[in-house]
Amino acid sequence: MPMRASRSLLQANRRLCGLSWPRRQNAATVSAFRSAGRMIGPSSGSACTGSRPLLLRRNPIRYTHSQSTDSAQTAWWKNSNVNTREIRPQTPSLPHWENQEVPALDMPIPTHVVSNFMGFACWGDLPNGKKTSLPLMHQEEGMLWMLPPAEWAPAPFHTGTEAVGARIFLRTTNHEGMERVSLIGKNIHAFKTYLMEGLVPLSEAQWTAKDLDNPDRFETAIEYITGVSAVFEYLSIPQVEANMRDTFNLVYDDLEELGGALNARRRTHHPDWPALDLPALWVEFMAARYDVMTSTAHAWMISKVSQLKEQLLDRFCAVAQLPPDQEVAAEEREQLQQLWQHLTDITALADVGVWIFMDTYKGYRATAPPGGAGIVPGLHNPGIDALAKAYQPRLAELSVSRLNEVVRAQTDAGTFDSADSIRDRVSATTYAQDKLRLEMRGPPPMEPLTPPWIDFILRDEEEMQKMKPQDEKHTFGFAIYGAAGRLSDDQWEAVRQKVEDHVASWGEGIKGAEKVKPLLKLYWHDCKELGLDVNDVDSLKSHFRTARAAETSPLGIGIEETTFLVLDSWSVGSYADAKLSESYLKEKTYLPGDFQPHLLAVDAHYVAEPNPAPPATESEGQNQSNNTDDKTSDTPIENDDFPALFPQPTPPKYTGHMRILGNLVWSELYALVVRNAATLEDLFPLAMEHPQKLYTGLTVPSQIRAWREHTTLKNSMMESFAKYLAKKDPKAAEALKKAREKHAM
């Protein structure tokens, strides 16, 4: 390679290492994501977002609302409420903020977290897999949460007429806690739900199945990574931070009151029991929960960015060795530099932004790990503001220093033009960011954390063994209904085995997966033997509700009670006939992992409205309210004390069931429902954009864009065909209608 090309490459590397972002406000351009709203963004000419300068704003809400917050302002809107659907931070995560069509209500602390805490207060198992050293509640005390202290507490706590546990739960609902509720797009809210439960957006197996290492899918890969940063950008909005802290502190005060009453009772009835410190348990539980979230999210982002960087380095080294006068090579070199810069920006976004600060939470005292210099990764760093403000100049300093060091060594060794030497020079920014990460976040965890849902199952199995030591193994899982239909016995057994194998094909890179896999089971029900129609969901619901009680263990462990699976005719086809998805797999715009065999997941307790109400007018919409903490509803509430804060477009109508890829049954569906983190209704909107109405996990804008183009064309053709069929064969037209209602077509 000519020396002229080498010098050109060196200049390009200096631009890369110097972080040639657009002109900005000196050290204040990368904030602590704390006092300044914590928004950092891409460089000029970023590959995915165009030429958008990084802009720091003191208040994200103020700068994003170019217009008023629409009619919601007039409907009991408070300054503490946050509507994020118009936020447009100039960061790599911008596509997520621009695609918030389906609204979701978000509570600062979801209700199921309180339920999980109550279990922790009795068992002592923290979300990060550790065990608390604090005194725990006894089983008999757990029953007192939901009873007024007047019925059980000694003086002076015996005057309370309201159950403290009920009050705590109300703190986390959109009734009592309405003034702290936020409105956010379902796309970002879904990412938040996953991260809060210690789940990564995509497992290694899913990443590979979706072919996201393919350079042609770089945009989609980036969007999955920046979906994580969008969550922390949302959580870093000052008012959202305040709402989270205030809800935490209110629960802290309630637990202080409950703990006082319980300790008075202990002194009277069980003087040998140690005093409880429920507020301290609450602090320890939530700190561990946030630690799992931030550690897992940050590690996943850095891992995926590093993976993409390695691919870019290979491409960059190959192009850099081409003659510099080749126009195509020059263009590709420039494009690769932009992509590299984009990944550098995202790395900075992860290191500076993936935090949930607990400094102002009641009772929280940061305990730094040995040698951590006061750093509790993701939760506390006393010098984070100064470090964040100094991030850009410090990165430039370290990068240039490293580059000069590498160049000198390569020049002395005479290896300047080799591919490995080029790689080392380009990697100067990576070296600098790795060093900065240690200064800012401290050393990373020695190994990945076990997802809390897995620890939950393993703990329950341990308790079951204590109660029933004679049983070799206890299992957990889903009931599944199926029937051979037109298949022979051999064909049916082959399909069943394919289902079992596909459902079991999860766990790569997930700590604890191999331990929990033997405990997870599909409980098969043969519809032919039971005299049930496998395609009649209502009859299956009735049978399930009747049979579940007899098949559930004394502790309520065993078959999941809210959801069951069905291998209906459409699902059988997906496993028996590979050609059903061939047309999609040929399309380069589709991710291949999104078109796999699937099952029907059914909400066991869903009952359809017999006569759906007509669509509300605009004026009526202002008198409606959302009746859950994470989704909107077009049903008026009975209590006029809670008018609609967020009148919004109606989300996809829930039908009580959804199709799901078989390999997501355990790692996503079960992982979320077993912890009450999400219901089938919560996941349902994520499936509705898919051409086959399948739940494929978290979705991103570029993925949905391709789906919508297909769906628009298909619906246009299907409507014309349905009208034609209605005239020619009304019975067939009715069958087609039912199939479409089941989202099978």
Q: Give residue-wise pLDDT tens across range 239-256.
A: 999 999 999 999 999 999
pLDDT tens for residues 24-57? Answer: 222 222 332 233 233 333 233 333 333 222 222 2
Q: What is the pLDDT at residue 436?
A: 94
pLDDT reading at 277 higher than 90: yes
DSSP-derived letter for residue 207 is H
- Closest CA relative to residue 707, chosen from 718, 693, 725, 726: 693
Q: How much of the chain, in percent, has pLDDT values that exceed 70?
A: 79
Q: Give the pLDDT confidence score for residue 418 in this predicted structure.
A: 79
Which pLDDT does position 325 carry in this prediction? 67
pLDDT attached to residue 310? 93
d(Cα 660, Cα 697) in Å, to the nearest integer?
Answer: 9
Look at residue 32 in the predicted model and tell me its pLDDT.
Answer: 28
**pLDDT mean over 509-533:** 94
Query: pLDDT value at position 718?
Result: 66
- Confidence band for 714, pLDDT divided at 50, 70 and 90: low
Instruction: Indicate whether 400 pLDDT > 80.
Output: yes
Tens digit of pLDDT for each residue in 612-656?
554 444 334 333 333 344 443 333 333 333 334 444 445 678 999
pLDDT band at 663 (very low <50, low <70, confident <90, very high): very high
pLDDT value, residue 318? 84
Q: Are 406 and 40 in contact (CB under 8 A)?
A: no
Q: Would you state the pLDDT for residue 579?
A: 80
- Region of 216 please: left (phi>0), alpha (psi -120 to 50) or beta: alpha
What pLDDT digit, counting tens, does each position of 550-588 carry? 655 444 567 899 999 999 999 999 999 878 778 788 888
Q: Is the peptide bond preceding residue 156 cis, with omega within 30 degrees of 0?
A: yes
Dihedral in degrees, nearest 10, Cα atoms 105, 111, 112, 114:
150
User: Which pLDDT score, from 0 to 100, does residue 588 have?
Assistant: 81
* Residues near 72 by beta carbon (within 8 Å), at least 6 away in sequence: 83, 183, 644, 645, 646, 647
51-79 confidence digits (pLDDT tens): 222 222 222 222 233 333 344 344 456 78
DSSP codes, 505-516: ---TT-TTHHHH
First and final CA of the chain: distance in angstroms?
A: 57
**DSSP per-residue letters across 58-98:** S-HHHHH-SS--GGGGGTT--TT-EE-TT---SSTTHHHHT
Which amino acid makes up residue 289?
Answer: R
Is pLDDT of 22 > 80? no
pLDDT digits (tens, 9 = 90+) for 665-686: 999 999 999 999 999 999 999 9
Sign of CA dihedral 559, 565, 567, 569: positive
Hey, is 692 helix, strand or coil? coil
Q: Which two tokens stand for residue 138?
A: 């006894």
- The pLDDT assigned to 685 comes to 93
Give the whole-angstrom CA distance, residue 678 versus residue 670. Answer: 10
Q: How many CB atoms lie within 10 A of CB 16?
A: 24
CB < 8 Å & 24+ apart, contacts of 524-533? 524/480, 524/482, 524/496, 525/479, 525/480, 525/481, 525/482, 526/482, 526/483, 527/481, 527/482, 527/483, 528/483, 528/484, 532/481, 532/483
What is the amino acid identity at position 141?
A: E
Residue corresponding to tokens 């060093």 = 435
Query: CA 357: distance to chain centroid?
Result: 19
Confidence of residue 81 (pLDDT cuts 50, 70, 90): confident
Which residues are bridge partners to 602 per DSSP?
Answer: 564, 657
Find out whether 111 and 169 touch, Cβ atoms under 8 Å.
Answer: yes
More confident residue, 315 or 578: 315
- Is the confidence at residue 387, as pLDDT, over 50? yes
Interhelix angle for 419-426 vs 391-413, to 10°?
A: 160
Q: How far apart are CA 97 and CA 118, in angstroms?
A: 35
Determine contact, residues 598/661, Cβ cutoff 8 Å.
yes
Q: Give the pLDDT of residue 362.
A: 97
Q: Where are the beta strands (DSSP E) in 291-417?
A: none
State the virtual CA torsion across 446, 513, 139, 172 in degrees, nearest 10: 80
Task: State the pLDDT at residue 444.
Answer: 84
pLDDT at 218 over 60: yes
pLDDT at 429: 93
